[in-house]
Amino acid sequence: MAFVLTPWQPPPSRPELSDHSLHLWRFPLTCHESFEQFLDEHELQTAKRLLVPAKARAFITARARLRQILGLYLDLDPQSLHFNYGASGKPVLAGASSDDLSFNLAHSVEWGLCAVTRGVAVGVDIEKLDRQLDYAKLAAGFFSVCEKNWLQASSNHRRRRHFFRIWTRKEAWLKGKGGGFSDPDQDIGLAHLQGCCTHDGTWWLRNFSVSRHYIAALAVPQEFSLVQRWDAWRN
């Protein structure tokens, strides 16, 4: 059975990624340390453009944690890492070859989430289960016909949660591929919608919980038998 997820547990001081292993890290964004020292000029400029202070704070914290996490695998100082960006903005480690570490970062309100693996692309998404969100409007704007039908077929009391399951899977998949997000025809396919862990021949998707009120999804282009989950920097 693909994708056995360990419970969230404290990370080792020097995490090791063997071939065919994948690590998920969760970390709180609600901390008050000063993280600017870890960021490069490009990141500091990005943070400056974020006019909502909470968003700027979350961006800085998540980038600093990302650097700390990757630094542990690479045995490098967090501030010495360099990122390149794909055409749609996906960050990758500069100079990484196809066998090297790959990662993806996501954040939502109080939580950051980072996936780290080796040699394959990866995507993650996390969302707060917002009870006020007009999810029907978002589904109308962003879901394919197939996804809308699937959502509509769920019972009233389950529909909001179903929306978040589909949304996070789709977002993780799009982030894994690293392409654009605006094509309305991007359809994760019925197979991905029906099961917990299903396969359309190229990508594996899996929902999981990050904490109460937070749902996440992982997307990878191959099966992983074990996904280790690390619970870092808890307040």
Ligand X SMILES: CC(C)(COP(=O)(O)OP(=O)(O)OC[C@H]1O[C@@H](n2cnc3c(N)ncnc32)[C@H](O)[C@@H]1OP(=O)(O)O)[C@@H](O)C(=O)NCCC(=O)NCCS
The answer to whether 62 contacts ligand X (rule: CB under 6 A) is: yes
**Span from 21-29, 31-39, 57-65, 149-157 in contact with ligand X (CB under 6 A):** 57-65
Give the nearer residue to ligand X in terms of CB position, either 66 or 72.
Answer: 66
Select from 23, 26, 65, 90 the one that contacts ligand X (CB under 6 A). Answer: 90
| 3 state DSSP class of 146 | helix
Per-residue binding letters, 166-195, with ligand X (x by CB under 6 A): -x--xx--xx--x--x--------------
Q: Which of 193, 216, 213, 196 is nearest to 26 (CA)?
A: 216
Q: Which of 195, 175, 159, 200 is nearest to 114 (CA)?
A: 175
The answer to whether 102 contacts ligand X (rule: CB under 6 A) is: no
User: How far apart are CB 85 and ligand X at their closest, in Å?
Assistant: 8
Give the nearer residue to ligand X in terms of CB position, either 143 or 224.
Answer: 143
The answer to whether 88 contacts ligand X (rule: CB under 6 A) is: yes
H/E stretch holding 70? helix 53-74
User: How far apart are CB 181 and ligand X at their closest, in Å?
Assistant: 4
Q: Which of 114, 128, 88 is nearest to 213 (CA)?
A: 128
Query: What is the C-alpha to C-alpha distance for residues 5 and 193, in angstroms, rounded to an integer?
Result: 20
User: How far apart are CB 1 and ligand X at their closest, in Å?
Assistant: 27
Select from 71, 91, 119, 221 the one that contacts ligand X (CB under 6 A). Answer: 91
Q: Are strands 4-9 and 214-220 parallel, antiparallel or unpaired?
A: unpaired
Binding positions for ligand X, rule: CB under 6 A: 59, 62-63, 88-91, 104-107, 125, 142, 167, 170-171, 174-175, 178, 181
